[in-house]
Amino acid sequence: MIEVKNVSKKFGDKDVLKNISGVFKRGMTNMIIGASGTGKSVLLKNIVGLVIPDEGKVLYDERDFIKASKEEKKDIRQEIGMLFQGSALFDSKTVEENVRFPLDMLTQMPLDAKMDRVHFCLKRVGLENAAKKTPSEISGGMKKRVGIARAIALETTRYLFCDEPNSGLDPLTSIRIDNLIQEITQEYDITTIIVSHDMNSVMEIGEYIMFLHQGEKKWEGSNETLFDSDVPELNEFLFSNKLMRRFKNEPSSA
Ligand SMILES: Nc1ncnc2c1ncn2[C@@H]1O[C@H](COP(=O)(O)OP(=O)(O)OP(=O)(O)O)[C@@H](O)[C@H]1O
């Protein structure tokens, strides 16, 4: 579980995050959603320690990340897997070398054990036959899978952060990636936080959703309750496209 308590952040005189609190539970796909420029990525950066909040706390299973010693921070970082926007793979390395990268950087494991782990992770994401390929030889969806395999390569992974995991993917591949992230979250009992403005993803896997608007948390809930809200900013966000407006105006056939 990750708890964010009263987090605020200013850049210059601009309040980018205003007193944000929320609980991201273990074994659940938690999402931070909102329009562009509303503070989603800055909140994620505050959670992972790339940005230090001006005020507030970030607790990793009760461990205060901001106040933690260097050693404690190192321990927490070993438990974090990141799936970056655009996958961020090394083009010159093979798929297998990309997945091995965190093991090379952060562990003293013998090579045999590393390779076993790499192949286990590649198998889990359905890429056991692509181990020797380079990123330029595989599709966008496969690259995301490599990114997921790399994010869970460390056996210590307890937290998974995904920044726009579906960017650049077609809707069907996006849903497959969403489902894979959700399965892995449940299977390994990970606390997953996904930053997204993809409504398909939100509806597919948004078990806990935090909606940000201009740096403020305006709503929280699940994909089950998303459409019951009377928060104008959320409704404006949800019904910003024609398809959703049509869905809103169609009487239910149920
Ligand atoms: N390092 C920084 N210095 C100054 N301003 C910043 C910095 N990082 C982000 N901002 C500003 O903070 C605001 C929120 O940015 P953020 O990247 O969190 O938005 P976002 O909701 O993730 O948007 P998008 O969906 O487009 O990625 C923006 O106005 C951005 O310009």
Answer yes or no: is the C-beta of 38 below 6 A from any ligand 1 atom.
Answer: yes
> In what side-by-side order are the strands of the sheet with 80-83?
80-83, 159-163, 191-196, 29-33, 208-213, 216-221
Per-residue model confidence as pLDDT tens digits over 171-185: 899 999 999 999 999
Mutate to test the pocket of ligand 1, among 42, 163, 233 (most ligand atoms within 8 A of CB): 42
Q: Is the CB of 52 under 6 A from ligand 1?
A: no
For position 64, what pLDDT does the model report? Answer: 96
Residue with tokens 């398809």: 243
Neighbours of 118 (CB within 10 A): 22
Give the pLDDT confidence of 42-101 residue by residue, as tens digits. 999 999 999 999 999 999 999 999 999 999 999 999 999 998 877 688 999 999 999 999
> What mean pLDDT, rounded, does the chain reach?
92
Q: Would you put residue 116 in left (φ > 0), alpha (ψ -120 to 50) or beta?
A: alpha
Q: How confident is the model at residue 154 (pLDDT cuts 50, 70, 90)?
A: very high
pLDDT value of position 253: 52
The 3-state DSSP composition of the chain as helix, strand, coil percent (nearest 5) reads 40, 25, 35
DSSP state of 226: G
State mean pLDDT over 161-168.
90
CA of 41 to the centre of ligand 1 (A): 7
Order the strands of the 55-60 sheet from edge to edge: 14-24, 2-11, 55-60, 63-64
Residue 84 confidence (pLDDT): 80
Report pLDDT for 197. Answer: 85
Q: Determine phi and psi for 6, rounding to 5 degrees.
A: 50, 45
In Å, how far from its chain's centre is CA 92? 25
Residue 252 has pLDDT above 60, yes or no: no
The per-residue pLDDT for range 187-222, each reduced to its tens digit, is 999 999 999 988 889 999 999 999 999 999 999 999
Pocket test for ligand 1, best of 31, 38, 51 (most atoms within 8 A of CB): 38
pLDDT given for residue 249 in this prediction: 67
Tell me 251's DSSP state: P
Q: What's the 39 CA to ligand 1 centre distance in angstroms? A: 6
Q: Take residue 60 and report the two structure tokens written for it.
A: 């990793």
ipTM of the complex: 0.96
The domains of the chain, with CATH numbers, are 1-79+191-244 (3.40.50.300), 80-157 (no CATH)
pLDDT for 167 beyond 90: no
**According to the model, what pLDDT value does residue 132 have?**
96
